[in-house]
């Protein structure tokens, strides 16, 4: 059993870690969503929330919530609800939000610009360091406070600035080459939007392939399924 | 049992449908990935592939592949492998790719532009119809062959053009209002990038919330977990 600090509000002052091994992969998968909701509550100055209210806004059963969050400790005195800040801090810590990873974004096209202009990185504790592109017209410009460098400088930049994460928004043909350059320069995680499944088996790098279009496909599937059901209603075929 | 046409190559000539009810939700979830790989093979003029080769490139066991795809019929003569085009067609049909849905994209910022300039829509059989924005400077302009209209025209446009899908890349504060406008005008599916979980319970609309940032969080989590393990190696603490 892991030791858990039962005192609330210690987040930010070296709160003892929840062991990653003690949390099941299924719970881990659901934590980003809790993190989003708790962050939203914090931004609205909500400091406490009951499992039943959290259940209502997140549309998850209260018992599921208690099951998911009971490994974090520091909450749940009957009638008081969760300490939002504490729980947010614990989940952040577990998910690596406080790891302070540094990221570069390669590809200063529309998607690259969209990513760097969002709060996506800061909300997850990732420091955006620079943009890179091959287009000389973009090199030297600044978008969302980030300078654009030429990709020729990528390897040196990553090494010198100890970059942890590379975000790939380059065309798919360029993706593998750029990824390898970054891996050689010590980058340990790649977030790949290049619409191909990147593999870097030779390197000690974690790749997260982001297929935005799969989500459009899921939407279409749910729409046709619903139509099936509507169509099936008036006439029931013999089975 | 559903009846399945065992003859290959009938796709495109009213091939009989695979019943959506006969495919498990777990398989459905994996189908977009098969669809991507098979589409890639087709673009490279590959017409047949064995389950063992598909297994190698997709990194899924061959028995998993056979399990996932056996409901589609029309393949698997021993030694011949899968008919790529047939299988691609069947999966497309099941996922609603051939439904010919029409979409508008609301928000002509960087993300909106990135989405419309990609092959994302056409590859999934979704017809991009128009862009909308509130910014008068953008209204009337054209991006990736799509004209930008003012959001004031959104409701009429959706009604007149029988729009099925609305893609939301507007700021989060505007998302709910725009979504409601579209729902009123008959839009049946919303693909929401506004970084808030949209709900339209009062309307008969399917919402697919896209949280790009959750995937960054998963990457960070995998990175810190890996560090945990590396750190744990040299010194094993007494348990």
Query: Tokens in use for B188?
Result: 């049946």
Residue A6 has pLDDT above 80, yes or no: no
C-beta of residue B65 within 8 angstroms of C-beta of residue B51: yes
Q: What percent of chain A has pLDDT over 70?
A: 86
Q: CB contact, 8 Å: B126 with chain A?
A: yes
Beta-strand pair A189-192/A165-168 = parallel
Distance CA B50, CA B69 (A): 12
pLDDT of residue B14: 39
**Mean pLDDT of all residues in A55-84:** 81
Q: Which residues contact B14 (CB under 8 A, 6 or more apart)?
A: none
B19 confidence band (pLDDT: 50, 70, 90)? confident
pLDDT of residue B190: 98
A75 — pLDDT class (breaks 50, 70, 90): low
| The pLDDT of residue B235 | 45
Q: What are phi and psi of A129, to 5 degrees?
A: -105, -45
| B211 vs A: CB within 8 A | yes
**Position B162 pLDDT exceeds 50:** yes
Class for the domain spanning A20-95: mainly alpha
Please name every residue paired with A150 in a beta bridge, in sequence order, or none if there are none. A133
A198 DSSP 8-state letter: -
Residue with tokens 């979409």: B103
Convert B106-132 to b/e letters by CB count within 10 Å (16 or more is b). bbbbbbbbbbbebebbebbbbebbbbb
What are the phi and psi torsion angles at A64 (to 5°)? -60, -45
Q: What is the CATH number of domain B100-214?
A: 3.40.50.720
Interface residue B162 vs chain A (CB under 8 A): no
Report the share of chain A in percent with pLDDT over 90.
56
Q: Report in angstroms the alpha-carbon separations of B15 from B7, B45, B64, B103.
A: 9, 22, 25, 26
Model confidence pLDDT, tens digit, residues B107-146? 999 999 999 999 899 988 999 999 999 999 999 999 999 9
pLDDT band at B237 (very low <50, low <70, confident <90, very high): very low
Residue B125 in contact with partner chain A when CB distance is under 8 A: yes
Q: Is the dihedral of CA A105, A130, B225, B233 positive or negative?
A: positive
pLDDT for position B97: 86
Give A117-140 pLDDT, tens digit per residue: 998 999 889 999 999 999 999 999
In the predicted model, is pLDDT for residue B212 greater than 60? yes
Question: Cβ separation of B95 and A224 shorter than 8 Å?
Answer: yes
* Greatest mean pLDDT range, A85-94, A174-183, B215-224: A174-183
Cα radius of gyration rounded to whole Å, chain B: 22
- In the structure, what pLDDT confidence band is assigned to residue A71 with cuts at 50, 70 and 90? confident
* Residue from B162, B163, B182 nearest B174 by CA: B182
What phi and psi, each to the nearest 5 degrees, are found at residue A107?
A: 110, 100
| Residue B1, pLDDT above cutoff 90 | no
Residue A226, pLDDT above cutoff 50: yes
What per-residue confidence (pLDDT) applies to A3?
35
Half-sphere exposure of B188 (CA within 13 A, CB side): 14
* Residues B186-194, mean pLDDT to the nearest whole number: 97
Q: What is the mean pLDDT of residues A44-61?
A: 90
| Cβ neighbour number for residue A147 with a 10 Å cutoff | 13
Query: Taking residues A39-65, what's their average pLDDT?
Result: 90
- What's the whole-model pTM score? 0.83
What are the tens digits of pLDDT across the range A141-161? 999 999 999 999 999 999 999
CATH node for B20-94? 1.10.10.10
Cβ-nearest to B221 among A96, A123, A228: A96
Q: So what's the pLDDT on residue B115?
A: 97
Q: Is A224 close to B96, i.e. CB distance below 8 A?
A: yes
Give mean pLDDT, residues A102-131.
95
Residue B7: pLDDT band (50, 70, 90) is very low
Q: What is the pLDDT of residue B101?
A: 95
- Is B238 or A160 the better-scoring residue by pLDDT? A160
Please report, for residues A148, A221, B4, B21, the alpha-carbon distance to residue B1 in angstroms, rounded to integers and kept in the order given: 58, 22, 9, 11
Model confidence at A35, in pLDDT bands (50, 70, 90)? very high
Q: Contact B120/A213, CB-based, under 8 Å?
A: yes
Question: Within an 8 Å CB–CB cutoff, is residue B228 touching chain A?
Answer: yes
Chain B CB contacts of A217 below 8 Å: 31-32, 35, 95-97, 124
Q: What does the pLDDT average to over B59-76?
A: 80
Average pLDDT over residues B40-57: 90
Provide the token pair at B189.
Answer: 């599916």
* pLDDT value of residue A17: 59
Mean pLDDT of chain A: 86
- Find which of A220, A223, A237, A239 to mutate to test the B interface (most B CBs within 10 Å of its CB): A220
Q: Rank A196-200, B20-24, B164-168 by mean pLDDT and report only the highest.
A: B164-168
Is there a shared CATH topology between the B20-94 domain and the B100-214 domain? no
Q: What is the mean pLDDT of residues B218-233?
A: 83
Question: What are the φ/ψ torsions at residue B146 (nearest 5 degrees)?
Answer: -110, 135
pLDDT recorded at residue B11? 38
For chain A, domain boundaries? 20-95, 100-214
């Amino acid at each position: 059993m892991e030791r858990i600090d039962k005192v609330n509000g210690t987040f930010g002052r070296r709160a003892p870690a929840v062991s990653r091994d003690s949390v099941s992969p299924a719970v881990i998968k659901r934590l980003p969503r809790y993190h989003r909701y708790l962050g939203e509550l914090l931004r609205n100055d909500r400091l406490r929330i009951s499992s039943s209210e959290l259940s209502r806004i997140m549309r998850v059963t209260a018992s599921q919530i208690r099951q998911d969050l009971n490994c974090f400790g520091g909450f749940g005195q009957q009638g008081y609800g969760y300490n939002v800040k504490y729980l947010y801090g614990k989940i952040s810590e577990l998910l690596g939000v406080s790891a302070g990873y540094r990221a570069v974004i390669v590809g200063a096209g529309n998607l690259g610009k969209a990513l760097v202009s969002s709060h996506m990185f800061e909300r997850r504790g990732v420091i955006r360091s620079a943009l890179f592109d091959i287009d000389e017209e973009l090199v030297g410009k600044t978008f969302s406070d980030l300078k654009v460098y030429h990709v020729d400088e990528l390897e040196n930049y990553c090494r010198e600035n100890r970059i942890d994460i590379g975000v790939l928004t380059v065309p798919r043909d360029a993706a593998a080459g750029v990824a390898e350059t970054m891996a050689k320069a010590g980058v340990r995680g790649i977030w790949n939007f290049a619409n191909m499944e990147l593999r870097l088996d030779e390197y000690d790098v974690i790749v997260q392939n982001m297929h935005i279009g799969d989500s459009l496909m899921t939407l279409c599937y749910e729409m046709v399924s619903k139509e099936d059901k509507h169509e099936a209603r008036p006439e029931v075929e013999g089975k």
